[in-house]
Amino acid sequence: MTRSKKGLTVLLTVALCLLAVFQLFALTGCDDQQEQNQPPREKKYLEEWSEDVEFSTDYFPNIEKEPGKKFKIMLLTDLQLWGDLSANNEVYIMMDELVAEANPDLIILLGDNVSGLTTDYLLKELIAKMESYKIPWAPVFGNHDTEGLMKLDAQAQKYEEAEYCLFETGPENLYGAGNYAINITENGKAVQTLFFFDNGRYTKYEDGTEKEIYLSEEQIGWYEWTVKGMAEAEGHTVPSMTFSHFAMPQFRTAVETLCTKGENGYYYVPEELGFGYCQYLPGVAPVDSGFFAKAKELGSTTHIFCGHDHENNASILYEGIRFTYGLKTGCSPRPWNDADYYGATVIELGDDVNLYNIEKDKT
C-alpha cells in the first residue's frame, strides 16, 4: 500500500469513528430521562383479537368534526428522514409550509417515516416536530422504518407516548404493529372510519424472491369485524378509508389496464377516473390475499391510500373504490428520489370526499 493510500485509509477510519460517536450521542440524547418519565397513553385497542370478541366502539378513539365544516386530513408520505441532516432540515421546513397552508384537522404519515441506523434519534426529532403542530396525527410503518437500531415495538411505544399521536399498536395477534382504527364523528355519530394497517415489510415467497407483503387473513378478519360492528352500532354502514404503506395488487391492475402510457413511459390517469400518473407500475405483493374483494363485499371502504413508490402520484377509481398515492413529501433520501415534485395530499370530508395535492417544486 502506498503512503497516500495509507493516509486515505487513516482519514476514512477517523471519519467513521466520528460518525459512530455522533450516532452514540444521538441514541443517548440528554432528553431521555424526560421521555422515560412521560406516562404512557391509555390503550384503547384489544390486546388480542378474534371474531368471537364482543365489538365495542370504545376500542377506537374519536375525533369530532365540526358540523357544517369540512374536515381536513393531510397525508405526509415517505419522509424517510436519515443521516443527511441537511436534507432532513429541508423536509421539516416543507412540513411547516404544508401544515400552514392546509391547516389540517388530522395528519397521517404513510410510512417510511425514518430510515438508517440512528432510528432512535430520528424518531425523537420527528415526534417533536409533529407534536409542535398540536394537531392529532397518526402514522403507519413502512419498509425503511425498521432498518435501524430501534425495533418495531420500541418505535410503537414512542408513538403511543406522544400526546397528540393517535397511533395504537393494535391486537398482538395481527401482523406487525399499528393495526388500528379512528372514528371521525359529528354530533357524536360516526361519519367516517379510518383504518390503519401495517403491511410495510418485504417477505420471501416460494420462488425465492423478496417482495411486498400482503395483508394477512387476521388483518382482513379484524377489518370485517370492525366494519360490521360499526354498522350495528350506528344502524347503517359507516363509510371508511384505509391507509397503509404498500399499494394493493388491484392498484397495479388499475394502472396497467386503465391508464394511458405516454412516450416518456409514464402511466397517465384518464380525467374521468381521477388524476395524476405513475412513473412505473405500483410495487405490490405478488399474491392477492382477498382484502379488495372483502372491501367490495362489505360496501364500506371508498378510498385506499398508500405510499412507498416515491415517483407515483396517481389517484384512480377502480371497481367502485378509489386508489390514491400520497404525494411524496420532501427531498429525502437523496439520491434515491426521482419524484417530479414534492408536497402533500389533502382529503376533505364534507357532504362528499374531495382530494387534491399541494405541490412544491424541487429545489
> Which tens digits make up the pLDDT trace of 197-248?
999 899 999 999 999 999 999 999 999 999 999 999 999 999 999 999 999 9
Band (pLDDT 50/70/90 cuts) for residue 336 is confident
Predicted pLDDT at 32: 37
According to DSSP, the β-strands at 301-306 and 321-325 are parallel
Which fold is adopted by the domain 31-360? Answer: Purple Acid Phosphatase; chain A, domain 2 (3.60.21)
> Which tens digits make up the pLDDT trace of 279-294?
999 999 999 999 999 9
> Is the model's pLDDT at 107 over the cut of 90?
yes
With 0-12 CB in 10 A as exposed, 13-18 as middle and 19+ as buried, what is 319?
exposed
C-alpha cell of residue 119: 432510528
Cβ(326)–Cβ(82) below 8 Å: no
> Is the model's pLDDT at 22 over the cut of 70?
no
> Is the model's pLDDT at 24 over the cut of 80?
no
Lowest mean pLDDT among 7-21, 87-101, 187-201: 7-21
> Is the model's pLDDT at 188 over the cut of 70?
yes
Domain ranges across the chain: 31-360
Higher pLDDT, 117 or 223: 223
Band (pLDDT 50/70/90 cuts) for residue 334 is confident
Predicted pLDDT at 296: 98
Cβ(330)–Cβ(79) below 8 Å: yes
Q: Can you tell me the distance from the alpha carbon of 158 to that of 219, in angstroms, rounded to the nearest whole number?
A: 23
| SS3 letters across the chain | CCHHHHHHHHHHHHHHHHHHHHHHHHHCCCCHHHHHHCCCCCCCCCCCCCCCCCCCHHHCCEEECCCCCCEEEEEEECCCECCCHHHHHHHHHHHHHHHHHHCCCEEEECCCCECCCCHHHHHHHHHHHHHHCCCCEEECCCCCCCCCCCCHHHHHHHHHHCCCECCCCCCCCCCCCCCEEEEEEECCEEEEEEEECCCCCEEECCCCCEEECCCCHHHHHHHHHHHHHHHHHHCCCCCEEEECCCCCHHHHHHHHHHCEECCCCCEECCCCCEECEECCCCCCCCCCCCHHHHHHHHCCEEEEEECCCCCCCCEEEECCEEEEECCECCCCCCCCCCCCCEEEEEEEECCCEEEEEEEECCC
> Which tens digits make up the pLDDT trace of 132-167?
999 999 999 999 998 888 999 999 999 999 999 999
Predicted pLDDT at 42: 52
